[in-house]
Amino acid sequence: MANMPYIAAIDAGIHQEMRRDPSVLYFGQNLATTENHEFVKEYGHNRVRVTPISETAEIGIAVGAAMAGFRPVVELYMAEFMLVAMDQVTNEAPRFRYMSGGQVKVPLVLKAGYGFACGWAGQHTGTLTNLFAGVPGLKVVIPSTAADAKGLMATSIRDDNPVVYLHHYLLTLEHGEVPDGEHLVPFGKAAIRRAGGDVTIVATGWTVGLALAAAETLAAEGIHAEVIDPRTIAPLDLETILSSVEKTGRVVLVDQATRHASVSQIIAADIVEHRFSSLKAPILQVTAANTTIPYSEPLEASVLPTAAGICAAVRKVCA
Amino acid sequence: MSVNTPNAERQIWIYTQMLRIRTFEERVKRTFTDHPGVIRGHTHLADGAEASIVGSLSGFKKGDAALATYRCHGYPLVLGSDPKAAMAEIYGRVDGLCKGLGGSMHLTDVAHGFLGTSGIVGAGIPHAAGAAWAAQIRGKEEVVLCFFGDGASKQGAFAETLNIASLWKLPCVFVMENNGYNVVTTSAQEDANAAAGEPLSIKAKAFAMPGVTVDGTDPLAVHAVVSEAVARARAGHGPTLVESKVYRLSAHGNIIAPPGVPLHYPEHEAITVFGNSAEYEAALRGDPVPRFRGILVQNGILTPEHAAKITSEVDAEMQAAVDFALKSPFPTLESALQYNYA
Ligand SMILES: Cc1ncc(C[n+]2csc(CCOP(=O)(O)OP(=O)(O)O)c2C)c(N)n1
Ligand SMILES: [Mg+2]
């Protein structure tokens, strides 16, 4: 185990796979512009390259290289920058395996940060997770701990499909224990971050920390919350969520996205469809307000989910 | 001296505007140390590009429009926006140009013709063409100035828009501020023309429009080139691509960090990434603001006393902007939900 920040753990995952597999490529904007870049030094410019600000070409080139046998990891920095290349992400990369009747595969990783709600205003703060989750052929990964950041990155690179790997910008410097050596975290396997029998809280990314803080407060009040972190939202580990709901009968879903663009909508629908009879109270969702993120600090704080908001929702479903 | 040379009074105006931008942005930069936490997110300064900005806007008429990027503090100050409101926006206050909702990257002042700023590289280029189409339909000989960086010319939106703008003869002037960098990537590392030793204005050839490269640190040279392009656009002959060569004298922006980490401006990437302080120092020696002042003094257009008076007036104006912005209250929480729909 090594204690390291989330951001370093992501790099550790890329290194792990680049060392063992020469077909892994790493490229994007503003990286590897000098010979001192750690990835350039270790893997050389054939595999590590800086690109112009050309997301459509960057992601399209990744699709082509993947079809031709490589495993590209594209550094995109912010999830929003993928939006200028939305065709490549949602209507090219995930389509070719299917349309070719299984002849080709498109193993690539689109690495992008999201949710940077700390004064980045309207165009750089989105929680675009669910935008990608409903696209057949795409996998969507949202690590919330340093260990998962490494293990999920490695699994993303080994996966034979296009993977949107969304790291949370507010977690960048959060430290955690990260396993040394080969570390892989499976897709479609939720983590139970805290066990409890009274209420099920499902949260992703940065909101996992809010949910855990809320659970701590609630425990002092005698309410024992189970906090589930799906870790990947496509595939989504419904089984773990549903069995928790069977036990608790009460559900609060937390998401940093605006309500109708959130993963919590999908989870809520599936819970209602599959475990309606277990529910003892309506499902409550704690999401961002339905708004573009404002720049001004108090306004920004007021539109995001909070631990206090989660506590209030839990008290309501447990009342 | 060409017919396009502004008269003495106008040259003093140009210098004053350059100094206003510089001083305003020095205040922005100083805020990170004088008032930690007051500015959040990402700011981008135009220091080194003042001559290009003012030279480009010096022929701006009522009814014309300008659009720019996240590096947007300079333009509205020249177009007549109140620096108090601009600073209040950067501080996230209710009296800001955009009521504290947009911040540093999105200054907008429609009343003064500053139509919008996108934080997404290249995204503003088609917006400008759209505004130019509107101007073409209105038929009042209005033009649109579109400002963007060298890096943005590598976006699909650039190629797509320049083609349409030329095809439709839109009254638009595309001013590419080439500061030699996209963050930590040099032009030669990301641009095929630059790598081949060609000027970036050569890209205009692909779209059958004039392409001109100008020294963006010389406001009179920029004025001459842009005003000719503006005249062409006003006359209905279509767009021009102007490559204005500048050097940004600060880092790309303040550091990028999660909450809790104090923000500041690091040194320029030429030094921190490429270890090339010689390049940076040469640019600093060519700083367009003191250089233009020197030229005006040398030409007898400005006396040292007059220059000193302008400096103290601009200092006072920008100090007042800081004082005002610090005192301006935060917007009400309800206003966070207010402008999602018209
Ligand atoms: C589509 C997109 N990709 C990446 C970014 C991140 N980014 C912000 S500014 C910038 C550099 C732009 O360089 P240039 O166009 O030369 O403008 P400059 O900042 O030098 O003025 C980059 C890559 C972005 N905002 N939008
Ligand atoms: Mg640039």
User: Could you tell me if A12 and A144 lie in one domain?
Assistant: yes
Do residues A198 and A152 both lie within one domain? no
Query: The domain that contains A18 carries what CATH number?
Result: 3.40.50.970
Chain B contacts of A55, Cβ < 8 Å? Answer: 155
**Distance in Å, CA B46 to ligand 1 centroid:** 14
Strand spans (E) along B44-143: 65-69, 114-118
Structural domains of chain A, count: 2
Chain A with chain B: Cβ pairs closer than 8 A:
141
Torsion region of A222: left, alpha or beta (phi above 0 gives left; psi -120 to 50 gives alpha): left
The C-alpha angle with vertex A83 and arms to A81 and A89, in degrees rounded to 5, equals: 105
Torsion sign, CA atoms A178, A179, A182, A188: negative
Q: What is the least distance, in Å, from the CA of A32 to any CA of chain B?
A: 9
| Residues A318 and A196: beta-carbon distance below 8 Å | no
Residues A230 and A170 reside in one and the same domain: no
Task: Round to whole Å and give the CA distance between B211 and B332.
Answer: 48
Give buried/exposed letters for A142-155 (b at 16+ CB in 10 A, else e): bbbbbbbbbbbbbb
Please tell me whether the overall predicted TM-score, pTM, comes out greater than 0.90 for this model: yes
Structure tokens at A127: 């929680």
| Inter-chain touch B340–A124, beta carbons under 8 Å | no
Distance CA B323, CA B170 (A): 42
Q: Which residues line ion ligand 2, judged by CB < 5 Å?
A: B 149-151, 179, 181
| Catalytic choice (A17, A55, A80, A92) | A55
Q: B90 to chain A, minimum CA–CA distance in Å?
A: 9
Determine whether the shortest distance from the Cβ of B151 to ligand 1 is under 6 A. Answer: yes
Domain boundary among A115, A145, A178: A178
> How far is the centre of ligand 2, averaged over its atoms, from the C-alpha of A70 (Å)?
32
**Contact in structure between A90 and A132 (CB atoms under 8 Å):** yes
Distances (CA, A) of B178 to A30, A45, B149, B244, B322: 17, 26, 6, 6, 30
Search chain B and give the residue with CA nearest A168.
B258
Does the beta-carbon distance from A54 to B156 stay under 8 Å?
A: yes
- Round to whole Å and give the CA distance between B337 and B342: 12
d(CA B236, CA B112): 23
- Per the CB < 8 A criterion, the answer to whether B88 and B95 are in contact is yes
Interface test with A, best of B28, B69, B121 (most A CBs within 10 A): B121
Domain-located, residue A29: yes
pLDDT of residue B4: 74
Closest atom of ligand 1 to CA, residue B252:
19
Residue A52 to residue B190, Cβ atoms within 8 A: yes
Q: Do the Cβ atoms of B25 and B89 come closer than 8 Å?
A: no
Of B48, B342, B259, B169, give the one whose Cα is nearest residue A171.
Answer: B259
What CATH number corresponds to the domain at position A260? 3.40.50.920
The answer to whether residues A13 and A157 belong to one domain is yes
Taking the centre of ligand 1 as the mean of its atom positions, its distance from the CA of residue A182, in whole angstroms, is 36
Mutate to test the pocket of ligand 1, among A29, A53, A77, A88 (most ligand atoms within 8 A of CB): A53
Where does residue B27 fall: left (phi above 0), alpha (psi -120 to 50 degrees), or beta otherwise?
Answer: alpha
* Catalytic one of A17, A75, A92, A124: A124
Please give the residue of chain B at the shortest CA–CA distance from A292.
B340
Encode chain B (342 residues) as per-residue pLDDT tens digits: 455 799 999 999 999 999 999 999 999 999 999 999 999 999 999 999 999 999 999 999 999 999 999 999 999 999 999 999 999 999 999 999 999 999 999 999 999 999 999 999 999 999 999 999 999 999 999 999 999 999 999 999 999 999 999 999 999 999 999 999 999 999 999 999 999 999 999 999 999 999 999 999 999 999 999 999 999 999 999 999 999 999 999 999 999 999 999 999 999 999 999 999 999 999 999 999 999 999 999 999 999 999 999 999 999 999 999 999 999 999 999 999 999 999
Measured in angstroms, the CA of A121 and the nearest CA of chain B are apart by 6
- The reply to whether A78 falls in a domain is yes
Phi, psi at A287, each rounded to 5°: -130, 180
Residue A175 falls in the annotated catalytic set: no
Measured in Å, residue B187 CA sits from the centre of ligand 1 at 12
What local confidence, expressed as pLDDT, does residue B3 receive?
57
In the block, tokens 């963006």 appear at B216
Mapping DSSP to helix (H, G, I), strand (E, B) and coil, where does residue A77 land? strand
Q: What percent of chain A is modeled with pLDDT above 90?
A: 100
CA-closest residue to ligand 1 atom 18 = B149
Question: Ligand 1: which of B121, B155, B269 to mutate, most ligand atoms within 8 Å of CB?
Answer: B121
State the virtual CA torsion across B14, B17, B22, B27 in degrees, nearest 10: 170
The whole-angstrom separation of Cα A251 and Cα A273 is 14
Q: Read off the pLDDT of residues A134-160 as tens digits, 9 standing for 90 and up.
A: 999 999 999 999 999 999 999 999 999
Which residues of B, range 38-77, sit inside 8 Å of A by Cβ? 39-42
Binding site membership of A56 for ligand 1 (Cβ less than 6 Å):
no
Say yes or no: A209 and A155 in one domain. no
Protein residue with its CA nearest to atom 8 in ligand 1: B121
Give the domain extent around A168: 2-178
Q: What is the pLDDT of residues A44-64, one digit of tens each?
A: 999 999 999 999 999 999 999
Cα B116 versus chain centre, distance: 12
Sign for the CA dihedral angle at B276, B277, B278, B283 comes to positive
- Of B89, B154, B159, B138, nearest to B117 (Cα)? B89
pLDDT at A72 over 80: yes
Predicted confidence (pLDDT) per residue in B97-138, tens digit:
999 999 999 999 999 999 999 999 999 999 999 999 999 999
Which residue bears the tokens 């005003």? B227
Residue nearest to atom 6 of ligand 1 (CA): B121
Are the C-beta atoms of residues B242 and B57 closer than 8 Å to each other?
no
pLDDT in tens, A255-311: 999 999 999 999 999 999 999 999 999 999 999 999 999 999 999 999 999 999 999
Ligand 1, residue B182: give the atom nearest the CA.
13
Same domain, A172 and A221: no
B191 lines ligand 1 (CB under 6 A): no
Judge if A152 and A224 occupy the same domain.
no
Atom of ligand 1 nearest to the CA of A84: 1
| Lookup result for tokens 């066990």 | A195
* Partner-chain residue, chosen from A122, A170, A297, that has the shortest CB–CB distance to B106: A122
* Rounded-to-integer distance, Cα A216 and Cα A221, Å: 9
In three-state secondary structure terms, B62 is coil
**Chain B hits for A303, Cβ within 8 Å:** 336-337
**Domains of chain B: which residue ranges?**
8-26+39-77+119-257+272-314
Q: What is the mean pLDDT of residues A172-195?
A: 98
SS3 B138: helix
pLDDT of residue B65: 98
A216 classed as catalytic? no
Which of these CATH numbers, 3.90.1210.10, 1.25.40.10, 3.40.50.970, 3.40.50.2020, describes B8-26+39-77+119-257+272-314?
Answer: 3.40.50.970
- DSSP 8-state secondary structure symbol assigned to residue B106: G
Kindly report the backbone phi and psi dihedral angles of residue A91, in degrees, each rounded to the nearest multiple of 5, phi listed first.
Answer: -130, 5
Let me know whether A244 and A106 are in one domain. no
Report CA B147 to chain centroid distance, whole Å: 7
d(CA B96, CA B81): 11
If asked whether residues A74 and A168 sit together in one domain, one would say yes
Identify all chain A residues contacting B154, using CB atoms and an 8 Å cutoff.
52-54
Distance A232 CA to ligand 1 centre (A): 30
Q: Are A287 and A257 in contact (CB under 8 A)?
A: yes
The alpha carbon of A187 and the centre of ligand 1 are apart by a number of angstroms equal to: 33
Average pLDDT over residues A217-235: 98
Residues of B in contact with A298 (CB under 8 A): 330, 333
